[in-house]
Amino acid sequence: MAKSETKKAGGSNATSSGVSPVVLAVLRGRLEQIADEMDATLFRSAFNPIIAEAHDASHGLYDAKTGDTLVQGKEGLPVFVGVMAFAVKFVIDKTVDNPPEEGDVYIFNDPYEGGTHLSDFKLVRPVFRNGQIFCWLASVGHWHDVGGNVPGNYNPVATESFAEGVHIPPVKLFRKGQLQTDILDILQTNSRLPLSVYGDLNAQISALELGEARLFALLDEYGDDTVAAVFAELRARAHLQMENHIEAIEDGTVSATDWLDNDGISDEALPVAVDVSIKGRKMILDFSRSAGSVAGPVNISRSTAIAACYVALKHLFPDVPANAGVLDPVEIVIPEESLLSARPPRPVGGYTETILRIIDVIFTAIGQIDPARALANAYGTINALSLAGHRQDGSRWVMFSFFGGGHGGHSEGDGLSHGNAPISMATIPPLEILESAYPVAFRKWALRADSGGAGAQRGGLGAIYQIEILSDGADGFFFGERGRHAPNGVGAGQKAAFSRFSWQAEKGAQAALPEMTSKKVGIKLAKGGSVLLETPGGGGYGDPLDRSADQVMDDLRLGYISAEKAASDYGLVLDAGGGLDAPATEKQRTKIRQSR
């Protein structure tokens, strides 16, 4: 039990904030429901499949003065909730000399102060009570196309943010409840898909309007003071629970380093490194050993890096309430001019790849201290793919999508196969939706055998996708990672497979490979041409020789591993009929152990 609690939830005694445990539980659920309804409203209303189907968006409630996260929705991207605290604070600071008024809504996509990249548009709305701002509501969603050199905006060769899309500072989309149509005109004019911009924007506006209506109803029912006290109590509990978790970890320092393939410009590996120090009830995450800022678009802003730390810690300590209190006892050290503290106009379009590596190294480091919490690396790349062309009627089409892979093995079981990236709750868009919206056909969509790292708990499998072009031609752009640095295992658990990307310019042509392994622009595809993506699995957990023969045979039967892998990784020898030769198997496992 957290030390600030006086009685079990449901008792009559008040919490430290003066709110009864029953009211606290009820209001926590009601507040989370407001954010969840905002999520659902946007997902149902957006035009863009990346929001409507993949749920690449998020909503939350934020502190009136600091912008700190108060409550987040459960269906949106956790990394968005983390960076949106910085986005709201950005608006607060920008409006000191020109305070907001009732009915105002701010819009912007600044990736340096507000976090992430230019595709993610933020709408921030102050909620007024009795003439004062009670809190802020915020919505963020990944728009389909916001200009720049590459349709879909994942430009792997950008050297400035100007090549990644239009950059909008915080401006008023609504003034006292009146839509500023000139702002809408600017946004639509700077997109290859203006109708998509219009639909997504209106969906976000609807989500904020519903959120405000639901919050007003709650405040009228329980009173402003009670709800404010609940906000304070939830943060205090998150802070206390994190301190308790940290205190339970042995004092000391552990380190972890992983690598990005390259920055898309210079073909050199880039370290992402963390030193985790535990000192009593405080944790220090020091990223000073990471690479400096680079020319290509794998830089991230400080706010984005901090949000990635938040997501990693929430994975490791899932019982802690999801608000700003999670980071209160955590010091995060990021030097200036680091890969993780980009300033304008450094390109940041591929931020997803770098924050996934932050999460990987935090998992690896904490796993050295507490193996029971250890998670082998997940596949570690969203494999962003853009395909674009023109239909027969001359209209433009742009398909942007990300793709799944395997999650790492862990102390309680095998990793998830064909899952989503750990930075989010986003889903992989269904192929039926993509095929109905764009002139493409998925010729393969399957699990990738032998892609999960071998271990006592096997890594989950990645996937294979082959996409054929049905229109007269298309341009392709690919931005991925893990082409040269595979996801790591835990202990004796083995690495997962590398990511592989290739394409055929036309049907039957020889497959081509990107020079930078995991990044490529300007792919020319004729009708019948195709791209092939093979995603990594997750790393393995523990010694593969400790995996039971029955589990390995099940993996063989299901096609998850090959007979060759069963022998080389797990020491299982099959007889001529494909069955398990038990005496030879034990002899082979003993031989492998002795050779180590």
Residue 523 in tokens? 């792919």
Identify the weakest region by mean pLDDT among 4-8, 37-41, 574-578.
4-8
Q: What is the DSSP letter of 440?
A: E
Q: Is the dihedral of CA 227, 233, 239, 245 positive or negative?
A: negative
Cβ atoms of 442 and 467 within 8 Å: the answer is yes
pLDDT of res. 13: 52
CA distance 579 to 545: 18
Tens digits of residue pLDDT in 546-560? 999 999 999 999 999
Q: What is the DSSP letter of 546?
A: G
pLDDT of res. 202: 98
3-state SS record for 456-483? CECCCCCEEEEEEECCCEEEEEEECCCC
Tens digits of residue pLDDT in 511-562? 999 999 999 999 999 999 999 999 999 999 999 999 999 999 999 999 999 9
Compute the average pLDDT of residues 208-215: 98
CB within 8 Å of 216: residues ≥ 6 apart: 127
Tens digits of residue pLDDT in 314-346? 999 999 988 999 999 999 999 999 999 999 999
Tell the residue number behind the tokens 């998020």, with chain if given: 58
Helix (H, G, I), strand (E, B) or coil at 543: coil
CA distance 401 to 435: 12
Residue 471 pLDDT greater than 50, yes or no: yes
Compute the average pLDDT of residues 458-465: 98
Residue 39 pLDDT greater than 90, yes or no: yes
pLDDT of res. 16: 66
Residue 12 pLDDT greater than 80, yes or no: no
Tens digits of residue pLDDT in 80-105? 878 999 999 999 999 999 999 999 99
CA distance 70 to 27: 12
CA distance 249 to 490: 19
Compute the average pLDDT of residues 291-299: 98
CA distance 105 to 137: 10
Residue 7 pLDDT greater than 60, yes or no: no
CA distance 281 to 87: 29
Nearest to 527 by CA among 512, 505, 556: 505
Q: What is the DSSP letter of 165?
A: -
Helix (H, G, I), strand (E, B) or coil at 236: helix
Strand (E) or helix (H) holding 355: helix 351-369
CA distance 310 to 332: 10
Q: In what order do the strands lie in the sheet with 473-479?
A: 396-401, 384-390, 473-479, 519-526
Tens digits of residue pLDDT in 566-581? 999 999 877 777 777 6
pLDDT of res. 584: 65
Q: What is the CA radius of gyration of the chain?
A: 25
For the chain, counts of helices (H) and of strands (E): 12, 19
The residue type of 502 is S
CA distance 295 to 330: 30
The percent of residues in the chain predicted with pLDDT above 70, rounded, is 96
Nearest to 252 by CA among 285, 278, 287: 278
pLDDT of res. 73: 84
CA distance 158 to 417: 32
pLDDT of res. 581: 67
Residue 349 pLDDT greater than 50, yes or no: yes
Residue 2 pLDDT greater than 90, yes or no: no
Tens digits of residue pLDDT in 130-174? 999 999 999 999 999 999 999 999 999 999 999 999 999 999 999
Tens digits of residue pLDDT in 109-130? 999 999 999 999 999 999 999 9
The residue type of 588 is Q
Residue 475 CA from chain centroid, whole number: 26
Question: Rounded to the nearest 5°, which phi and psi values hold at 38?
Answer: -65, -45
Residue 517 in tokens? 């392994």
pLDDT of res. 319: 92
Helix (H, G, I), strand (E, B) or coil at 277: strand
CB within 8 Å of 185: residues ≥ 6 apart: none
Helix (H, G, I), strand (E, B) or coil at 135: strand
What is the full DSSP assignment across 42-101? HHHH-SSHHHHTT--EEEEEEETTT--EEEE-SSS-HHHHHHHHHHHHHHHHHTSSS---
Buried-state track 9-46, b at ≥16 Cβ within 10 A, e below 16 = eeeeebbbbebbbebbeebbebbbebbbbbbbbbbebb
Helix (H, G, I), strand (E, B) or coil at 368: helix
CB within 8 Å of 32: residues ≥ 6 apart: 71, 72, 73, 74
Residue 383 pLDDT greater than 50, yes or no: yes
The residue type of 438 is Y
Domains of the chain by residue range: 21-239, 375-544, 548-595
